[in-house]
Structure 1
Amino acid sequence: MDTQDYRTAIKHVIETYAKFRPSHGNIRLDVLFDDTHDRYALMQVGWDRGRRVRGNLIYITLQDGKVIVEYDGIEHGITDDLLQYGVAEQDIVLAFIEQPSMAEAA
């Protein structure tokens, strides 16, 4: 797949999760797509039980033909969803998991 296909796949995944509503609280889900810089996010904003709720649920970037999952706050993860929409497994990078450096791997 090319970068445009990956953009489309990422958007489908994020839009799918944006349709869900939290079971409690007054929380809004905001979809943020920046095709110019290849940044894609699903944010949560609102109130729950007297406390402010805000932050990423999903944050993905595209870089050098790779889908970089910077943050995945979905309980079961979004990797299977990306694969379902055609993103190649070797092109998905889970940036929130520390990768051993080349020196440590040797």
Structure 2
Amino acid sequence: MDTPRSDREIVKLVIRHYAQFQPSHGDIWLDTVFDEAQDRYALMQVGWDRGRRVRGNLIYVTLQDNQVWIEYDGMEQGITDDLIAAGIPSERIVQAFLPELKTALTA
């Protein structure tokens, strides 16, 4: 299997795993957003909690230059270990949400 296709499948697998979780409070559901044409993958939360609208990213990942860029990771434990365990080498994962000097540090 070629690397970009494999990366896509792994990223989608990890995001689908988190999409199965039920938020601990509120009437909130989780939606996956997969744009394979532009290699953008997200997990969104949408709903209501205590009379207030809830919406936003929980996970946002892009694939570019043969690397997996974690643009946003709102999960408590983070998704990096999940991506590595599923087969993406740590040296190809960029934690883009960290300051520039730290983006090369992975896992």
Deviations 1:43-96 (A, max 9, x none): 000000111110000000000100000000000100000001100100000000
* CA distance in 2 between partners of 1:49 and 1:80 (Å): 33
* CA distance in 1 between partners of 2:88 and 2:7 (Å): 6
Residue 37 of structure 1: aligned partner? 38
Q: How many residues get paired?
A: 101
Gaps of 5+ in 1: 102-106
Using the size of structure 2 for normalisation, the TM-score is: 0.91
**Cα RMSD over matched residues?**
1.2
Gaps of 5+ in 2: 103-107
* CA distance in 1 between partners of 2:71 and 2:52 (Å): 25
Residue 100 of structure 2: aligned partner? 99
C-alpha deviation, 1:99, in angstroms:
1.7
Runs of 4+ in 1 over 3 A off after TM superposition: none
C-alpha deviation, 1:100, in angstroms:
2.5
Using the size of structure 1 for normalisation, the TM-score is: 0.92
Q: Which has the higher contact order (CA 8 A, sep 6+)?
A: 1
Identity of aligned residues (%): 58
